[in-house]
Chains A and B, each alone.
Chain A
Amino acid sequence: MAGFDRKMLNFLLKNVHQVNTITTFDYYSAHDEETFQLILDTAENLAAKHLSPAFVNSDRNEPQLLNDEVKVHPALKPYIQSIAESGLIAATLPFEEDGQQLPKTIYAAAHYILTASHNSFVMFSDLAHGCLEMISTFGTADLKKIYLPKISTCEWLGTMCLTEPQAGSSLSDVQTMAYLQPDGTYKLLGQKVFISAGDHDLTGNIVHLVLARIEGAPAGTKGISLFVVPKYKVDYQTGDLLLENGEKVSNDVKSIAIFHKMGQKATPAMHLGFGGNNDCEGILLGQENKGLAHMFQMMNGARLGVGMTGISIASAAMQLSQQYARERVQGRLPVGSRFPVQIQEHPDVKRMLFAQKAIVNGGLSLLLQCYKYLDLLKVSETEQDIFKYDCLTELLTPVAKTFGAEMGILSTNLGLQIHGGYGYTMDFELEQLARDVRITSIYEGTTGIHSLALVGREILKSDGISLKFWQTEVENTVEEARKLEQTQKAAEQLQSALELFNFTTNKMKEMSEEGKTMEYLADANLYMELFGILNIAWQWLLIGVAATAENGDGKDKLKTLYFYYQYELGKIDYLSRQIINTEKLTLPEI
């Protein structure tokens, strides 16, 4: 069965976020509702043909590191070939770079369909997409000429290499070195770990984007640069692989080890060595010492992508749980049933099914909202608009990533719970989904790191200007919702929640102003949780407003809105109390 809900996706795109309005901008004007639907059809077809059928088998047959090269699951190659032929990987690039100027919102919607069908295979194509965007943005004309056509056709695939054994969350400690050569290239020396899709036998070359420190660069994050490092040497005159005696020439990138992971087993996570034989050549991408800032462009996309992965996996779990709860007959209701009933009739199971729906569709809506802001940022012309959409995406990216990950994990576990003992066995996919989703709160920045970024940067930034932009957006929704009978009560609840949020934020600012930095940052995670709940409440109010115009399914959406406000929104009272409490038990004892 499909792990996604196309009907709900269409509703969110069309009725809630009015994504068609993006096509009124010149840059996106080659598209319309029909092209969007055809692209989503293509994603659906790819998922049905290549992804769903291989989901379980590729988990049971992990990639192997044999003779210094990784062998991946055989079903990956036809998927990569098909997605290359589909043109989806380069679809968001401009026409002049052989892209189709597709709005990121639609690319993200396609990503949801693909990831809900096989979250592990999709990492290969998604990393290639990220590399394309990086080289398109920061590459010189020569680099673009060589790498864009190769990656967009999946002749070569890509990775991003940030983490080192001693530098995970703390990238300022990166030690990989880059030494300038007389010809303007660099020689790299160092090691990277947890490199997803870091080696495989799928393509003729692998393009690593590597963070390294140029000899003599300043310490910390201000001395990190970004390099394009192919697995095999490239002839920069012809743009093809360098050949010696008809053989590819190694660029001294060695697969040292493969990590054996808990989930996402079809994607090899590699320990890579660069320059062990002093022969690893890299080309600087973008400006010297700006590597981290450049990488964060890819990381922001990747972070939203990880949020989407969490939601997509939870979506697959939700679809399976709904089906199971309809089919599984077990237990009698305390009142009014002599015979066993479908488990979906039991209030506790119903609560879990509701919670899954609220998390998955609310989280998906927030992610689409972020992508829409990115699309609007791309076509904004006035400084005001550019500033506004930049602030909104910076503010919401860590929240969308964290909610998708943390609540995706929770929601998937609810699915496992609905399946009872069977959910804990390998006979049902829930067990695999629960393993796969667990990584999402760890990679592309842990929940802790994102929470610190939210509290440390966004709350204090320019007198909280990002929050002000956000609040205006939310209040506009509240105003709309107040006009409708079905959403009036929820509108008032969200308004009160906003007031509590403002109170909490002001108390936080007081801590910061009083110099209580440790107290201010200590419960950043709880502040993130509170802000996440509030954002999903906002999205559900948007969904509720749009649903009032719908017959049939509209009632179900409104019911989920009421559920979220009754069961989840109230949690912010507790969170607020904890956050503003200055007696933090977690502070180091002095």
Chain B
Amino acid sequence: MKILVCISSVPDTTSKISFTDSETVFNKAGLQFIIGPYDDYALARAVELKEQSGGTVTVLNVGTVETEPQIRKALAIGADDAIRVDAEPTDSYFVAEQIANIAKEGNYDLIMMGRETTDYNSGVVHGIVGEMLGIPSFSPVMELNIDGNQAKMTREIEGGKEKLEASLPLVLGCQEPIAEWKIPNMRGIMTARTKPLNVVAPSGDSLTSISAYSMPPAKGACKMIPAEDAGSLINLLRTEAKVL
């Protein structure tokens, strides 16, 4: 079985976010980047499937050279080789287009990724890839087993779970508890250095550009009002909070 796992490189979830160049550029300086947490689940399950039934796992990332540490980590976890499409992942359509183009060439049985990235959280890439390839896509998949050519899955739905089966090939957006995150071991880390990482040029141009980012409005300063001064409180509720 050939599995393609798409991983994103996202800021660590505890990072403080800021922007530069008149709020048009996301400031990466000093941030620690990690494999997208949901992508990490997809990768872990893909490696388990390979260990159970053989086959190969290829990791795909759309990103600049700065994302290579995350790609190496995926190789250390157990992927066999990697492809990096050398471009900024500017929007979901552009990323999906790159994935679909690579997938067409590789003839993969499974294309797995997280249900969404944790930076822009669009959650639509798997759907667009499925549409572009003309194959079914499912998300969020929280359980996955392969029996011959059939995938048996559990998907989270509003208020419950849905069990379903579908024939390969498929595109899957994954989430916990599909597998436990894997911790790279020393041997994996050392062998990751020699596993192939192919860098390819992007196909097509991004159709969008960022005009400006904005942060959520800052919380207002807390005003302390003496307990006996209810008049001041009412005045502020009228003039500032405007709730009275």
Contacts and interface: CB of A to CB of B under 8 A. Distances in A.
B65 to A, nearest CB: 12
Interface stretch (B102-110, B143-151, B152-160, B180-188): B180-188
A38 B32 contact: no
B44 to A, nearest CB: 12
Interface stretch (B54-62, B126-134, B189-197): B189-197
A100 B183 contact: no
Interface string B56-82: 000000000000110011001000000
Interface in A93-148: 100, 102
Contact of B189 (A6, A35, A49, A339): A35
Given A34-B72, A339-B224, A552-B30, A87 B186 contact: yes
A82 B183 CA distance: 9
Contact of B30 (A41, A49, A553): A553
A30 interface: yes
A320 to B, nearest CB: 16
Nearest to B35: A41
Contact of B186 (A49, A102, A552): A102
Given A34-B69, A34-B193, A100-B190, A42 B184 contact: yes
A35 B183 contact: no
Interface string B170-211: 000000000001011111011011000000000000000000
B193 A45 contact: no
A571 B32 CA distance: 38
A87 B183 CA distance: 11
Nearest to A1: B14
Interface string B30-56: 101000000000000000000000000
Nearest to A551: B29
Nearest to B30: A552
Contacts of A6: 32
Contacts of B184: 38, 41-42, 86
Contact of A38 (B29, B181, B192, B224): B192
Contacts of A41: 73, 184
Contacts of B183: 42, 45-46, 49, 82, 85-86
A333 to B, nearest CB: 15
A473 interface: no
A131 B190 CA distance: 24
Interface residues of B, number: 19
A559 to B, nearest CB: 18
Interface in A24-46: 30, 32, 34-35, 37-39, 41-42, 45-46
A146 B181 CA distance: 33
Contacts of A32: 193
Interface string A54-95: 000000000000000000000000000010011110110000
A30 B192 CA distance: 11
Given A35-B193, A339-B224, A42 B185 contact: yes
Contact of B73 (A38, A88, A553): A38
A7 interface: yes
Contacts of B29: 552
B32 A39 contact: no
Interface centre among A37, A46, A553 (most CB of B within 10 A): A37
A38 B72 contact: yes
A41 B192 CA distance: 14
A32 to B, nearest CB: 7
Given A7-B32, A38-B73, A339-B224, A30 B186 contact: no
Nearest to A38: B189
A552 B29 CA distance: 10
A86 B72 contact: no
Interface residues of A, number: 26
B61 to A, nearest CB: 15
B244 to A, nearest CB: 24
Nearest to A41: B73
Contacts of A102: 186
A39 B190 CA distance: 10
A45 B30 CA distance: 20
A91 to B, nearest CB: 5
Contacts of A100: 186-187, 190
Interface in A408-464: none
A552 B76 CA distance: 33
A461 B73 CA distance: 48
Contacts of A339: 224
Nearest to B193: A35
A320 B129 CA distance: 45
A251 B193 CA distance: 44
Contact of B185 (A30, A49, A87): A87
A23 to B, nearest CB: 12
Given A6-B32, A34-B72, A552-B30, A86 B224 contact: no
B193 A39 contact: no
A370 to B, nearest CB: 23
Given A41-B73, A552-B30, A35 B190 contact: yes
Contacts of B192: 35, 38
B70 to A, nearest CB: 10
Contact of B69 (A37, A86, A552): A37
Nearest to B181: A45
B142 to A, nearest CB: 20
A322 to B, nearest CB: 14
B38 to A, nearest CB: 17
Nearest to A340: B224
A90 B185 CA distance: 11
Contacts of A91: 186
A328 to B, nearest CB: 15
Nearest to B34: A41
A292 B189 CA distance: 37
A472 B129 CA distance: 62
Interface centre among A34, A38, A45, A102 (most CB of B within 10 A): A38
A7 B32 CA distance: 8
A480 B88 CA distance: 40
Interface in A140-178: none
Nearest to A31: B190
Nearest to A95: B190
A552 B30 CA distance: 9
Which 9 A/B pairs are nearest by Cβ-Cβ distance?
A87-B186, A45-B183, A38-B189, A87-B185, A86-B185, A100-B186, A91-B186, A339-B224, A35-B189
16 contacts: A30-B193, A34-B72, A34-B193, A35-B189, A35-B190, A38-B73, A41-B73, A41-B184, A42-B186, A45-B183, A82-B183, A86-B183, A87-B187, A91-B186, A552-B29, A552-B30
Given A38-B69, A45-B183, 18 more contacts: A6-B32, A7-B32, A32-B193, A34-B68, A35-B193, A37-B69, A38-B72, A39-B186, A42-B189, A82-B183, A85-B185, A86-B183, A86-B186, A87-B186, A87-B187, A88-B186, A90-B186, A339-B224
